[in-house]
A and B are shown apart, each in its own frame.
Chain A
Amino acid sequence: MRMPLQLTVAALAFAACLPAQTAPEIAYDSIPDLLKTPDRMQLGEAAGVATDSKGNIFVYTRTGGGNATIGGSRIFTHGGSRLYEFDRTGKFVREIGEGVYGFLFAQSVRVDAADNIWVVDRGSNMVIEFSPQGRMLMTLGRKPESVVMSAAGGRGQSNGAGVPGDNFNRPTDVVFDAAGNIFVSDGYTNARIAKFDRNGRFLKSWGTRGTGQGQFDMPLSLAIDAKANLYVADRGNRRIQVFDNEGAFQKEIANIGAPWAICISPGAHQFLYSSNSNDPTNLDNGEIYRMELDGKVLGRFGSAGKLPKQFGTVNQIDCRDPNTLLVGEVLNWRVQKIVLKP
């Protein structure tokens, strides 16, 4: 009876490597033409989307207008990303941070418990906090004085934990625990998680490039649960790693494809969402999973494509309301409001 047991184990191991194809489909609708921007402010790649406690919608998008100033022997880069605010119905309210020094290549926007708005910029290597009034409160990281666009680095070349502080190298996301501690995933070139206290003082960082527990290959998105456990979308390793608040590895969730964007809903019963986004070079995959916090898949919805209800490289999910998601799409230059009917 040894062989069948081995076969069973092998089959189980094999199944664990596959995305949860058999997860039940969740019915859903997409609200068309959600965001009404002025003609001069159409979205580009909608890298970041988030809501505040009033339901206002913030979009951090890659736009035109980026430029280089030729000065001496150095080239200085400016612009290229913008942060817009809409009300809960999608009506355009205002632009925040117009012309700000650190807006170069939008990656993520998050709103904290006090409704401060945080943007993560992969081009300037900065995390910037704005008050609800749209004034700057704090910066993490520093924009290189002159950005070398053709650095040999590119994607994922660095193999260490980076500078043990707040100099990021292509950071990707930011989240906060109930005590106000700040966690930054860093990122495309570094492979680590950095933790700061509520005043921006560096506490610790962990992670190196690799495939082992606590190692990362493009940590792209973060979420935090009510117990202050940290969920890291380890995209290149096709898994979500869960750590306690001090960075001790807890578990991994690994049957949901490559997680590009994750979020955890608030409330008594929290859900974890993760998008197995299509790479921008194809229209494969694209489904979003709904899970319990322990990784149990409850269902899935969507697939890659350019039509309404389809997804074009989802880069961020807002799940303040667990059944009304906002998804920001890189490939389709839009934000969709997804109404789930589980």
Chain B
Amino acid sequence: MTTCQSICLALAAWTCATPVFAQSSPDGLTPAQLAARAKARDVPEIPFESAPDVLKLPPNIYLGEGIGVATNSKGHIFVYTRAQATRLFEFDAKGVYLREIGEGLYGLVFAHMVRVDPQDNIWVVDEGSNMVIKFNPQGRVMMVLGRRPEPFDGPPPLTPPTAEPYEFGRPTDVAWDPAGNIFISDGYGNSRVVKYDKNGRFVKAVGSRGSEPGQMNLPHTIAADAKGNIYVGDRSNSRIQVFDSDLNLKTIYDKVGAPWAVCITPGPHQYLYSSNSYPDNNNSQLAAVTGEIYKMELDGTIVGKFGHAGKKLGEFSTVHEIDCRNENELLISEITAWRVQKLTLHPRRPQ
């Protein structure tokens, strides 16, 4: 056997031993990577930087999983975090610690999201107590929705819970239309969006578990635009479903990966941000194809994207909530990095 023949045989053997998908899948990605990667291609990058040390924590206060972050009209920052107990902290616009809200409260069990409404009331969504709690700007409880299950009711049933008007199954997020109606994405257990009037009285609910239009597979985040349209991050279906204020399905955006966190900017020209977050199971395979945040027009047109998975400042470790009260100065909270980052975007002006 000549040297040349040996090399040829070795090459053939190597080729045969190489997994088939590496040859047949686009860009050399595994099926899991392909499923997690956003469909959008050739999206322009938006330059940005992340400011260090955004939140100044007192010596004995720590953030846990950075689950929720939101600002009020004065720029104060609210962080809903999983510590040994779930806690809600308030910081001023410069990140100086002000106080804790709702310490020891019955409904704070396992943090999920925090949002601030137009009147600066602070709302937390707790997936452990199955409750949504409204605090006034002074930090006092004004209204509660849902009810924490009593400890004696036994373990939750194996079958999906029945979707009761006033009970949630691990709810995820809350939004309001201009009339003050309350929309709650519900959630890990149920697969629906529930609408209440501003006084907390049930109006209607839509959605069931599935992948058909109008069905949901983990509605994880929700936002409303100035016309009262409701944007639902249907995370495990990797799409954003848009409903009108009466919860009729209008359109679906499915090019931006799995929407873990969505938000809509205020002002005359509103933008929609959505994070295709790096999954919180730390699957390192997926780090290469997830982690970026998309900026969109409300009609779904992608304007740009920024960021990628990672642990360094300016990299994203499972973004869980985005505050975009300021279009080019975002706050993001991350699950696996236990932190909040402030991002300053530098979008290129349209030519």
Residues of A bordering B, CB below 8 Å: 39-45, 61-66, 77, 105, 122-123, 149-155, 170, 188, 280-283, 305-307, 331-333
B85 at the A/B interface (Cβ < 8 Å)?
A: yes
One digit per residue, 1 when the CB lies within 8 angstroms of any chain A CB and 0 when it does not, for chain B 170-211 equals 000000000000000000000000000001111000000000
Distance of A42 Cα from B99 Cα, bound (Å): 15
* B166 x A333 contact (CB < 8 A): no
- Given A64-B85, A64-B107, A65-B104; A39-B139 close (CB under 8 Å): yes
Q: How large is the interface on B (under 10, 10 to 19, 20 to 34, 35 or more residues)?
A: 20 to 34
Extra pairs beyond A44-B105, A154-B154, A281-B165 (9, CB < 8 Å): A39-B140, A44-B107, A64-B106, A154-B152, A170-B152, A188-B152, A280-B166, A282-B166, A306-B199
**B143-173 toward A: CB 8 Å interface, digit per residue (1/0)?**
1100110111111000000001111000000
Query: Would you call A154 and B165 a contact (CB within 8 A)?
Result: no
**B155-A150 in contact (CB<8A):** yes
CB neighbours (8 Å) of B199 from chain A are 305-307
- CB closest chain-A residue, reference B151: A149
Q: Which residues of B contact A42 (CB under 8 A)?
A: 102, 105, 140-141
Determine which of B151, B154, B201 lies in contact with A152 in the assembled complex, contact meaning CB atoms within 8 Å.
Answer: B154
State A188–B154 Cα separation when bound (angstroms): 14
- 30 intermolecular pairs with C-beta atoms under 8 Å apart: A39-B99, A40-B104, A42-B105, A42-B140, A43-B141, A44-B107, A61-B106, A62-B106, A63-B106, A64-B105, A64-B106, A64-B107, A64-B108, A105-B152, A149-B154, A150-B154, A150-B155, A152-B154, A153-B152, A154-B152, A155-B153, A188-B152, A280-B166, A281-B165, A282-B164, A283-B202, A305-B199, A331-B144, A333-B141, A333-B144
Specify which of A41, A105, A170, A333 is in contact with B104 (CB 8 Å cutoff): A41
**Residues of B104-158 whose CB lies within 8 A of A:** 104-109, 139-141, 143-144, 147-148, 150-155
Select one of A63, A149, A280, A306 contacting B152, CB under 8 A.
A149
Q: Does B45 contact A (CB under 8 A)?
A: no
In the complex, chain A residues whose CB is within 8 Å of the CB of B202: 283
B280 interfacial contact with A, CB 8 Å: no
Q: Which 9 A-B residue pairings sit nearest by Cβ, starting from the closest?
A: A44-B106, A306-B200, A64-B104, A40-B103, A150-B154, A280-B147, A150-B155, A149-B151, A65-B104
Question: How many Å from the CB of A81 to the closest CB on chain B?
Answer: 9
With known contacts A39-B103, A151-B154, A282-B165, A65–B85 Cβ distance under 8 A: yes
Which B residues form the contact surface with A (CB < 8 A)? Answer: 85, 99, 101-109, 139-141, 143-144, 147-148, 150-155, 164-167, 199-202
Give the residue of A43, A154, A283, A307 whose beta carbon is less than 8 angstroms from that of B166. Answer: A283
Contacts of B152 in A (CB 8 A): 105, 122-123, 149, 151, 153-155, 170, 188
- Tell me which residues across on chain A come within 8 A of B155, comparing CB atoms: 150
In the assembled complex, the Cα of A119 lies from the Cα of B296 at a distance in Å of: 57
Q: Please report the C-alpha to C-alpha distance between residue A153 and residue B154 in the assembled complex, in whole angstroms.
A: 8
Which of A45, A152, A188: most chain B Cβ within 10 A? A45
A19 CB to closest chain B CB (Å) equals 21
Judge whether A63 and B141 touch: CB under 8 Å: no
CB-defined contacts of A333 to chain B, threshold 8 Å: 106, 141, 144
In whole angstroms, what is the CA distance A152 to B103 when docked? 33
Closest to A123 in B: B151
Q: How far, in whole Å, are A331 and B141 apart by their CA atoms in the complex?
A: 12
Looking at the assembled complex, report how far the CB atom of B25 sits from the nearest CB atom of chain A, in whole angstroms.
Answer: 46
CB pair A331 B147 closer than 8 Å? yes
Closest chain-B Cβ to A283's Cβ sits at a distance in Å of 6
Q: Which residues of B contact A283 (CB under 8 A)?
A: 166, 201-202
How distant is A157 from chain B, measured CB to nearest CB, in Å?
Answer: 10
For B144, what are the chain A residues with a Cβ–Cβ distance below 8 Å?
331-333
* Contact residues in B for A105 (Cβ distance below 8 Å): 150-152
Residues of A contacting B150 in the complex (Cβ-Cβ under 8 angstroms) = 105
Bound Cα distance A48, B99 (Å): 29
